Amino acid sequence: MPVDLKVTGGWIVTSAGKYRADIAIKEGRIVAIGDGALMPDAKETINVKGKFILPGIVDTEAHPGCYVPFERDIKSETRAAAAVGVTTWGVHAPSTRLGHEPFPEYVQAEDVIPFSQVADGAIQIINRSSTIDVFLTLMLETDEQVAEIPMLAQKWGMTSMKLYLQSMKPELDKYWAGRRAGLGHGFDDGVVYQTMEQIAQLGAPGIVAIHAENWQIGRVFEKRLIEAGRTDFAAWTDRSPDFAEVHHIRSYGYLALVTGCPLYIQHASTAASHAEIRRMRGEGLKVYAQTGPAWLYLEANDKGWRINVPLRYRENIEAIWEALADGTIDAVGSDHVIAWDPNRREDMYNANIWKLRTGFTSRVEMLTPVILSEGVNKGRISLERAVEVLCENPARIFGLYPKKGAIQVGADADLCVVDMDKEVTVSKDNLFTRSAWSIVEGHTFKGWPVMTILRGRVIAEWPDDVPVPRVIEDQPSGQYLPRKVGSQLYPLLSQAEQPVRG
């Protein structure tokens, strides 16, 4: 019997190397990889003409629903992700931002509800409105939410938890924007400890992610900088110095070591952080680190922006690339956020850093281009290492491998075809984010995704003969991805792996 699709004429890339082979796909899965003469017939064939074929990108950190209802962001921003080769999104959200209605602009403590009350609704939104597949990382705030972890893992396959450490003192409202982003309770070290304890008992693929950035120290620096008359963009970086990130990594890394909990550090934006991560690994802690395209590309200067954690100076950017190359940093995630409406650049911008709106849009659309252009084509990392940090490692760490992040028989037929010679100058014409602007507009990148395939279906493409990319979406086909408690590898071809339908 013919297969549904064959992808021919390309170089398959894994962390182990590149090789020429064709890929046969049937019912959304890879069923054969090999020489064209030995492959089955197909109903449809796509010749990628010598381009590189990567597994679909697994973006481990995105924040849809922070400032507008969850479904609205899922509809638009998963299209933006698909345009740059992302087929799996790791969505981070508190319970107040997973479809709970009414949508409060400023969240209060009483708005924070159990995740069990919103899990089914969030899954329904993903299954009907997402262009790509999604797994959930839950941002915990209360003892009651921590107590739900075993049930959340067993019933809904939610095995990754997030502790947004900068929100631990919400009473400092002047210095904390979390109420608008959906965090309304605040938490203490008791919540941190219990979360790590629960995840350690849960076992693989349970993991705790942390946003490491001490805002209690940051408020002191902010006061001093304002009193000194600093309003420039780099003042935001000086407000949150390197040691404010390292302090959290060391403190909560120690709690992870005590409890035996695997730890995932978002951003890892300083050389001092990298040294601390290596030290903790030497002590036996299972700790992973992530960075993002903003910290790999943008500097703390007047062309930057306000973001948490802040953009760093040039020497730290080079240190992040070195840590990505040598294995200190394991993964790259976009940290994609759409700020509240209106989201036009002119409405968000202010020359005074203290009046500038925090965050900038379109980070997911920076993800693959920054890695390909600034990383691979500039010789900082190999294409094989790019596959490791964009696809394989994220899928392994979060319990989705080899269903995701791999090109092998039995895996989902998620592919990202890239043209390493394609030069693109970013403009509104080639963006899909709802806000239709990017901090890197006018920047030219060499190396760009030109086709995204999700479970055997082309969902985005940029043919050679058309001026702008297109996302193909007659009907959103994304699915919610539950993880399997008790196994580091996602079981293939089993009934248990069918998508959860809320």
pLDDT (tens digit per residue) in 135-166: 999 999 999 999 999 999 999 999 999 999 98
Q: Do the bridges between strand 17-20 and strand 11-14 make them parallel or antiparallel, or are there none, so unpaired?
A: antiparallel
The pLDDT of residue 177: 66
Q: Give the CATH number for residue 272.
A: 3.20.20.140
SS3 content of the chain, % helix, strand, coil (to 5): 35, 20, 40
The yes-or-no verdict on residue 498 having pLDDT over 50 is no
Domain assignment present for 228 = yes
The yes-or-no verdict on residue 104 having pLDDT over 90 is no
Helix or strand (DSSP H, E) at 180: helix 178-181
The yes-or-no verdict on residue 175 having pLDDT over 60 is no
Q: What is the pLDDT of residues 236-293, one digit of tens each?
A: 999 999 999 999 999 999 999 999 999 999 999 999 999 999 999 999 999 999 999 9
Measure the CA–CA gap between 230 and 162, rounded to whole angstroms.
Answer: 33
Measure the CA–CA gap between 377 and 331, rounded to whole angstroms.
Answer: 19
Q: Do the bridges between strand 52-55 and strand 415-425 make them parallel or antiparallel, or are there none, so unpaired?
A: antiparallel
Q: Please count the structural domains in the chain.
A: 1
Domain assignment present for 390 = yes
Q: What is the pLDDT of residues 208-248, one digit of tens each?
A: 999 999 988 999 999 999 999 999 999 999 999 999 999 99
Q: Against a cut of 0.75, is the pTM above it? A: yes
Measure the CA–CA gap between 383 and 11, rounded to whole angstroms.
Answer: 11
Domain assignment present for 34 = no
Contact in structure between 149 and 183 (CB atoms under 8 Å): no
Domain assignment present for 9 = no
The pLDDT of residue 496: 43
DSSP state of 274: H
b/e per residue 234-262 (b: at least 16 CB within 10 A)? bbbbbbbbbebbbbbbbebbebbbebebb
- In the numeric block, the tokens 């709106």 are attached to 357
The pLDDT of residue 340: 77
Contact in structure between 484 and 404 (CB atoms under 8 Å): no
The yes-or-no verdict on residue 492 having pLDDT over 80 is no
Count of CA atoms in the C-beta half-sphere (13 A) of 264: 27
CA 37-41-44 angle, 5° bins: 120
Work out the percent of the chain whose per-residue pLDDT is above 70.
96
The yes-or-no verdict on residue 501 having pLDDT over 70 is no
Measure the CA–CA gap between 315 and 305, rounded to whole angstroms.
Answer: 18
Domain assignment present for 343 = yes
Q: Amino acid identity, residue 206?
A: G
Domain assignment present for 422 = no
Domain assignment present for 17 = no
The pLDDT of residue 101: 79
Helix or strand (DSSP H, E) at 326: helix 314-326
Question: Domain range for residue 346?
Answer: 56-397
The pLDDT of residue 497: 46
Domain assignment present for 420 = no
Banded model confidence at residue 495, pLDDT cuts 50, 70, 90: very low
The pLDDT of residue 171: 52
Helix or strand (DSSP H, E) at 191: helix 189-202
Least confident of 156-170, 171-185, 250-264, 420-434: 171-185
